[in-house]
Amino acid sequence: MGAELSYAYAVLRPTAALDGDALGGVDGVAGGALRLVGTDDLAAAVSSVPEADFSEAALKRHLENLDWLERVARAHDGVVAFLASYTTVLPLRLATVYVDDDRVRDVLHRGEAAFTRLLDRLADHVEWGVKIYAETTGGASAGEGRGDVDAAAGASDPGRAYLRRRRQEREERGAARSAAAEAVRRIDVAAGAVALERARHRPQQGQLAAGPGENVANDSYLVARERSEEFRERVRDAADGLRGVRVEITGPWAPYSFAALPETGAPEEVRER
């Protein structure tokens, strides 16, 4: 067997629910078995991964392979979600790898105060995602249905009909964006009444954008677990009656967007031996 490294998924406070065989309920990256490394008060969930695939040089190669990256990301997220179903976790970055478990313990020791403050703040809270899309009916049919006069004009003057359709498409896009901006404003107010914090992310474009429309807002909210349903209802109600707007609510997730650590306590990725 080749040399192995320690792949860390999250920092957490150990709980009796994770004792015994509980950690066998999910496989880690590369099929590795999970273990907790640390003390009774603070630990990291870790599994062993082959150095041949997770050394610094190997990661630089693999991170350009989207299929490999997707497999690792799915396994990583699966472990974090599994742990979050038992206790509060601080998710670590994808491919946070250390030379060995002793290095993990050292990082936990040096960052203990920062880790503890974050765990206290995030206890019993989850992350919800809210994406807002501006949608238009668009398409060539936008200029149709205006009666026989417009139809006749289009047949006799294709250029004017084309310009008319383009103008109407611009008007529809403008109206949809205005409605989406109003949705953003309303949802900020509604969600802010429930959420502890908000994290703004760059709107998604291209293949990252789910479904039709233009993604104009892509935010995450930190919400007390017990108020999750109230949060969902407030967000849904805030966008009611706004035409050309689609709101996508996802979660609950482990608080990825709110687990950023100060540099003094942040884990460092492995370097070559």
For 19, how many CA atoms within 13 A lie in the half-sphere containing its CB? Answer: 4
Query: What's the pLDDT tens digit per position in 119-164?
Result: 999 999 999 999 999 887 654 333 344 444 454 455 567 777 777 7
pLDDT above 90 covers a percentage of the chain that reads: 62
For residue 66, count other CB atoms closer than 10 A to its CB: 9
pLDDT above 60: residue 44:
yes
Q: Are strands 197-201 and 245-253 parallel, antiparallel or unpaired?
A: unpaired
CA distance 199 to 134: 20
Is the pLDDT at 96 greater than 70? The verdict is yes
Q: Do the beta carbons of residue 177 and residue 242 sit within 8 Å?
A: no
Q: Give per-residue pLDDT as tens, 152-206.
A: 455 567 777 777 777 766 766 667 778 889 999 999 999 999 999 999 999 987 6
Q: What is the pLDDT of residues 102-124, one digit of tens each?
A: 999 999 999 999 999 999 999 99
Contact 44, 80 (CB under 8 A): no
Check: CB of residue 91 under 8 Å from CB of residue 259: yes
Find out whether 241 and 213 touch, Cβ atoms under 8 Å.
no
Cβ 23 vs Cβ 33: under 8 Å: yes
Determine the Cα–Cα distance for residues 180 and 178; give it in Å rounded to an integer: 5
Alpha carbons within 13 angstroms on the beta-carbon side of residue 170 total 6
| CATH number belonging to domain 126-137+171-257 | 3.30.70.360
Position 270 scores a pLDDT of 45
Q: Which long-range contacts (CB under 8 A, 24 or more apart) does 20-29 make?
A: 22/86, 25/82, 26/78, 26/79, 26/82, 27/75, 27/78, 28/75, 28/79, 29/72, 29/75, 29/76, 29/79
Res. 52 pLDDT band, cuts 50 70 90: very high
Paired residues of 89 in beta bridges: 12
Grade residue 212 by pLDDT with cuts at 50, 70 and 90.
confident
